[in-house]
Amino acid sequence: MEYDKLISVMRALALDAGAKIMEIYEADDFAVKVKSDASPVTEADEAADAIISAGLRAAFPEIALVTEEQATSHGETAQTFLIVDPLDGTKEFINRRGDFTVNIAYVEAGVPTRGVVYAPAKGRMFYTLADGTSVEEEGPFSMDAPGTLHPVRVAQPDNTALMVVASKSHRDQATDDYIGKYAVKDMTSAGSSLKFCLVATGEADLYPRLGRTMEWDTAAGHAVLAGAGGQVVRFEDHQPLSYGKAGFANPFFIALAPGVVLKGA
């Protein structure tokens, strides 16, 4: 893989898709449908998916592509592939809360190694560079060339005063009970894959997810966090979360800065 080309293409497609998403987001109204799994999908999801899928297939025709909005791709069995959630945080989008992202990632041998997370309504963009390290790009963003890049790195956690981030739309009692096992200094909530990015930047130390997610929800954020020195492990046994699983469904997981002393279930 030509990583320089990969990052350039992923960044440009995220910006292009983000612009289309914001065009629809700022309209007076937009169409919302319900998928077979009862989750919502909007015209923004579909428009962004069309932009990203076409761009990735043109640039990397030899690499398998998995995307949330194309069910035919969900039977893919490759362990090295591109994976896309064109609009992560659809509920945040529908409710006009701004915490939604464009997620594009590259998975190698079951491990997300490169990715971009773009939150167009927040004006924040995180991605891995060709060398695998992670940065946040300072806006305003240009399609022509990246702006100022700020390296991101996980914090050194204080286990007597942890910063925790949890889901905004999927918070439940089981999550609260688990967080209660830690000495927490402060908590914040965020939607979509921004939670991974908050751990990557040191704005949080711990993000537990005790709920349903799919690999396209997490791969890009996972790559950004890994490039910042962080980890994502399975909730049940604290082993690394892998990708390319049948059906692309994730188990419960914990994203963290190394140094956090994990508690058992």
- Give per-residue pLDDT as tens, 127-184: 999 999 999 999 999 998 899 999 999 999 999 999 999 986 667 889 999 999 999 9
Is 177 annotated to bind a ligand? Reply is no
Is 217 annotated to bind a ligand? Reply is yes
In terms of Cβ atoms closer than 10 Å to its own Cβ (0-12, 13-18, 19+), residue 31 is: exposed
What is the pLDDT confidence band of residue 76, given thresholds at 50, 70 and 90? very high
Would you state the pLDDT for residue 94? 83
Is 85 annotated to bind a ligand? Reply is yes
Beta-sheet strand order (sheet of 253-256):
184-190, 162-167, 206-209, 253-256, 231-234
Contact 80, 64 (CB under 8 A): yes
Q: Please, where in the chain does CATH 3.30.540.10 lie?
A: 3-151
Would you state the pLDDT for residue 171? 73
Taking CA atoms, 106 is separated from 148, 157, 248, in Å, by 23, 28, 14
Tell me the pLDDT of the chain averaged across its residues: 93
Is 113 annotated to bind a ligand? Reply is no
61 — alpha (psi -120 to 50), left (phi > 0) or beta?
alpha
Would you state the pLDDT for residue 108? 98
The tens digit of pLDDT for each residue in 228-263 reads: 999 999 999 999 999 999 999 999 999 999 999 999
Top-level CATH class of 3-151? Answer: alpha beta
Which numeric CATH code is attached to 162-256? 3.40.190.80
Would you state the pLDDT for residue 168? 67
The tens digit of pLDDT for each residue in 190-202 reads: 877 999 999 999 9
The tens digit of pLDDT for each residue in 24-49 reads: 998 877 777 776 665 767 789 999 99
pTM of the model: 0.94
Q: Please, where in the chain does CATH 3.40.190.80 lie?
A: 162-256
Q: Is 259 helix (H, G, I), strand (E, B) or coil?
A: coil
Distance CA 80, CA 187 (A): 35
- Cβ atoms < 10 Å from Cβ of 159: 12
Would you state the pLDDT for residue 37? 64
Is 68 annotated to bind a ligand? Reply is yes
Would you state the pLDDT for residue 36? 62
Strand (E) or helix (H) holding 44: helix 43-59
Is 90 annotated to bind a ligand? Reply is yes
Is 62 annotated to bind a ligand? Reply is no
Q: Which two tokens stand for residue 174?
A: 């089981």
